[in-house]
Chain A
Amino acid sequence: MKGRTLSRHFRESFKSLGRNGWMTFASIGTVTVTLILVGVFALIMTNLNKLADDIENDVEIKILIDDLAGSKEERELLAKIKKLPDITDVKYSSRDEELKKVIKDYGDDFVLHEQSNPLRNAIYVKAINPQETANVAKKIDKFEYTAEVNYGKGKVEKLFKVLNTSRNAGLVLIIGLLLTAVFLIFNTIRTTIFARRDEIEIMKLVGATNSFVRIPFLLEGAWLGLLGSVIPVTVVAVLYYNVHKSISPNLKGELLQLQSFSPLIYQVSALLIALGVIIGMFGSFISMRKFLKI
């Protein structure tokens, strides 16, 4: 194909958008509505997922060190724990620090105990994969000089079950919505092509090759997808920016945080544009095939 033919195809695709006025408008409208749904839903699901992660990552193993352990044994225990491959965030906390925490959490009633501190030195550790917490705890429990290893047995397992179930439900919803979006956009494109099947036939009858007929339609499909993603991308960005602005300050220092604006909004935008453009082109390609056979 010659360069000027390619530029001709680009020109034709733009011209056709304009001359198909109503049809173009309707298609872009459908794509827009569909992609807004996908975008908003993607934001909600990402944040719910982040929420689940945050809750999960808060699960900690607390190791109380046996009173019999001297500082040398304590150091050895700490070293052993640190050598475990699947752990992270190891923190040593002396009995004095432990008491301060209790006082901070439960109030000055406990100040009395400052004289004779009943608490033990402790080590805090997290499993890299929170779902492995129980196994890690079991391993640590076998080490010497561990008096107690706590991670909220029972509760944690239940929590993980709930989180996993909701994650799976979310995944099913996302896939369902994506498929619906693909279907809706595809169908819109197919309708525009179907309305113009006679044109495709005429072009073939006067000696156009398949690609000569096809390329402007593919480009037009891409523009429909692209134009249809402009409003959704804007809506999603503005919406999330404002949600962030009004909610994030209230969450300062809390365990649960919104997914940050920056990479997320670009990822979602890319998803929306890609969905629009790729299905626009692919939909045109598929829908044209049978009309080119003449």
Chain B
Amino acid sequence: MHSKAAFHFRKHLLGVCLALLSISFTVRTYAQSAANSLPAGTGRDLVAAACTQCHGLKLIVALRDGPVGWKHFVDDMILRGAQLTPQEADSVTQYLSKNFGPGTSPMQSGLKSEPLPSGDGEKLVESHCALCHDLGRITTVGRSKEEWNNTVSNMMARAGTNVATQDEILTMASYLAAHFGKKSD
């Protein structure tokens, strides 16, 4: 670029930068650009404004959790300093559960999985667990019966009441322990 052209280009660039800067003085840029990366809906702007004070949104967008699970996260963040009133926190929880809840494009672990072996509980695992994540996360790991029970109970509790009965939880845990148990079990 010739020096004169370069000068004009730089001047132009400077103008653009100044214009952008003046916007950034008036608009809350962080929150604004964060909001653009989230699905539309009530609560989106609150998530963008409150959550990005301390961390990015990458995890929020990648995670799947039920309404109880999302509420735990939001509560935890309030205790760590997030500035959301009770009504706002409610709205944030609802937004997150709706947009990143069970059934909304499950998380992909990238772990290859064989189809589930048949057995009592197979269908339950498929219909419950696979709502939030792929099966690779289950079939490539070994856990004891107690561990499976804790894991399944925790996930079902996070998904909300009445998602699975106590019997169904036990059936799933037994099935998983039988097929994906620990060597020592």
Binding between chains A and B = no
Chain A residues packing against B (C-beta within 8 Å): none
